Amino acid sequence: MRGGLGSEYEVSLKTGATVLEYLPREKYQPRDILITKDGQWHMDGFGIEPARLRNSLDVVFNALHGEFGEDGQVQTLLDNTMLPYTGSGRLASALGMNKVAAKEIISRAGLKVPRGVHLKFKPETKAEAVAYDVFLKISPPWIVKPVSRGSSVGVFLAKTFDDLVVAVSECFKISEVILVEEYIRGREATCGVVDDFRGHKTYPLLPIEIAPPAGKKFFDYEAKYSGQSTEICPSQFSIEEKRELGELAAAVHKLLGLKHYSRTDFIVSPRGIYILEVNSLPGLTAESLVPKSLAALGVPLPHFLDHVVSLALGRK
Other beta carbons within 10 angstroms of residue 275's beta carbon come to: 23
Would you say residue 262 has pLDDT above 50? yes
Would you say residue 153 has pLDDT above 90? no
What is the value of pTM for the model shown?
Answer: 0.91
What is the structure's pLDDT at 276?
A: 96
pLDDT per residue over 272-294, tens digit each?
Answer: 999 999 999 999 998 899 999 99
Instruction: Please provide the average confidence, as pLDDT, over all residues in the chain.
Output: 92
Band of residue 124 on the pLDDT scale cut at 50, 70, 90:
confident
Domain 2-86 has CATH 3.40.50.150: no
What is the structure's pLDDT at 7?
A: 83
Other beta carbons within 10 angstroms of residue 47's beta carbon come to: 9
State how far the Cα of 294 lies from the Cα of 282, in Å rounded to an integer.
Answer: 13
Band of residue 225 on the pLDDT scale cut at 50, 70, 90:
very low
Phi and psi at residue 298, in whole multiples of 5°? 80, 20
Band of residue 315 on the pLDDT scale cut at 50, 70, 90:
confident
Phi and psi at residue 86, in whole multiples of 5°? -80, 155
Contact 203, 297 (CB under 8 A): no
Would you say residue 61 has pLDDT above 90? yes
What is the fold, at CATH topology level, of the domain defined by 94-112+185-313? D-amino Acid Aminotransferase; Chain A, domain 1 (3.30.470)
Residue with the bigger pLDDT between 204 and 223: it is: 204
Q: Find the mean pLDDT for residues 17-26.
A: 97
Would you say residue 35 has pLDDT above 90? yes
Would you say residue 123 has pLDDT above 90? no
What is the structure's pLDDT at 309?
A: 98
State how far the Cα of 54 lies from the Cα of 154, in Å rounded to an integer.
Answer: 36
Class of domain 116-182: alpha beta
User: Which residue from 60, 46, 64 is spatially nearest to 10, judged by alpha carbons?
Assistant: 64
Would you say residue 23 has pLDDT above 90? yes
State whether residue 2 is helix, strand or coil: strand
What is the structure's pLDDT at 152?
A: 61
Sketch the domain layout of the chain as residue ranges.
2-86, 94-112+185-313, 116-182
State how far the Cα of 17 lies from the Cα of 227, in Å rounded to an integer.
Answer: 18
Would you say residue 151 has pLDDT above 50? no
State how far the Cα of 89 lies from the Cα of 72, in Å rounded to an integer.
Answer: 7
CA 38: distance to chain centroid? 23
State whether residue 4 is helix, strand or coil: coil
Distances (CA, A) of 53 to 43, 59, 77, 297: 9, 10, 11, 35
Parallel/antiparallel/unpaired status of strands 187-197 and 156-158: unpaired
Would you say residue 141 has pLDDT above 50? yes
Q: Find the mean pLDDT for residues 25-36.
A: 97
State the DSSP string of 60-113: B-----STTTSSSHHHHHHHHTT--BSS--HHHHHHHH-HHHHHHHHHHTT---
What is the structure's pLDDT at 297?
A: 96
Would you say residue 247 has pLDDT above 90? yes
- Give residues with Cβ within 8 angstroms of 151, minimum separation 6: 7, 8, 11, 65, 66, 221, 224, 225, 283
Band of residue 195 on the pLDDT scale cut at 50, 70, 90:
very high
